[in-house]
């Protein structure tokens, strides 16, 4: 389904829009509703984050949301429930984005089996070295899950080729060095990174980190197969405070605006 969704966007001569929200934020039920709102608003794919107490890639906005989720008691069961219900409500591909330690402690085979049973399309593992990924990749392949790796502007061409050979589904290209968050500019390095990555693989390349406006989405859509937006959605929910209905309306509206942006293609 993930591959078909990305191919369908390409057939429409546009980039796919990929949204991200952490599970359990603002609550498990609220997070499920927010994921559904993203998909109904215009996202093609959603990434459900597994909140982590020591994130290395996430900026302050997502860290704040993760803290709220963890203090609310979210566990892997809540993450899997979010995947299951978001997929069941929309039929869209839903991935889990997680650091490796929780999966390793839970058991890679068990996690892969339960993610697949929940209807998950795959897993994004930003801190799992390719050299140590064979066990996970075998479990994921057995259960029909994509394994999405992250590449960065600092990745040399040889390293890019090694990463993209091991991955499946798509390649997550970090648009710049640093952590997630909204920025005034997406970064000139992104287009060059996509070009170099595409030279190593037929997989779609989706760009994330820093995209927050329709104009930025259009800019990235001009050279990438997918545009990934996370912090901007999380910020809308944070800004809404205890008014979940307002937050859901805001993220739905932003999804629609960004969906229009990826159809502009710069």
Catalytic residue numbers, as ranges: 47, 58
Burial 211-220 (b: 16+ CB within 10 A, else e): bbbbebbbbb
For the chain, the first-to-last Cα distance in angstroms comes to 27
Question: How many whole angstroms separate alpha carbon 159 and alpha carbon 151?
Answer: 9
DSSP 73: T
Angle (CA) 186 191 193, round 5°: 105
Contact call for residues 87 and 120 (beta carbons, < 8 A): yes
Is the distance from CB of 203 to CB of 247 less than 8 angstroms?
A: no
Q: What are phi and psi of 226, to 5 degrees?
A: -155, 150
DSSP assignments along 205-221, one per residue = EEEESS--SHHHHHHHH
Q: In what order do the strands lie in the sheet with 94-97?
A: 146-148, 122-124, 94-97, 45-49, 16-22, 226-229, 205-208, 171-174, 150-151
* Rounded CA separation 26/163 (Å): 34
b/e map of 92-123 (b: 16 or more CB within 10 Å)?
A: bbbbbbbbbebbeebebeebbebbbebbbbbb
């Amino acid at each position: 389904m993930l591959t078909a969704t990305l191919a369908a966007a390409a057939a429409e001569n546009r980039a796919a829009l990929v949204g991200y929200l952490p599970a359990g934020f603002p609550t498990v039920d609220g997070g499920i509703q927010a994921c559904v709102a993203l998909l109904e608003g215009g996202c093609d794919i959603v990434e459900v984050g597994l909140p982590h107490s020591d994130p290395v890639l996430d900026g302050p906005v997502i860290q704040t949301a993760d803290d709220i989720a963890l203090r609310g008691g979210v566990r892997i069961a809540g993450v899997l429930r979010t995947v299951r219900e978001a997929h069941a409500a929309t039929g869209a591909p839903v991935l889990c984005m997680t650091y490796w330690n929780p999966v390793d402690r839970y058991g890679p085979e068990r996690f892969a089996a339960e993610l697949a049973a929940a209807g998950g399309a795959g897993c994004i593992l930003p801190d799992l070295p390719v050299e140590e990924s064979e066990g996970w990749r075998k479990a994921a392949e057995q259960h029909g899950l994509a394994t999405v790796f992250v590449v960065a502007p600092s990745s040399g061409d040889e390293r890019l080729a090694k990463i993209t050979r091991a991955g499946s589904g798509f390649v997550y290209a970090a648009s710049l060095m640093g952590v997630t968050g909204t920025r005034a500019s997406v970064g000139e390095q992104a287009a060059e990174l996509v070009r170099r990555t595409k030279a190593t693989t037929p997989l779609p390349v989706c760009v994330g980190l820093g995209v927050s406006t329709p104009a930025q989405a259009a800019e990235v859509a001009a050279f990438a197969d997918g545009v990934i937006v996370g912090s901007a959605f999380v910020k809308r929910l944070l800004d809404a405070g205890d008014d979940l209905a307002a937050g859901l309306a805001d993220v739905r509206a932003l999804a629609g605006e960004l969906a229009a942006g990826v159809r502009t293609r710069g």
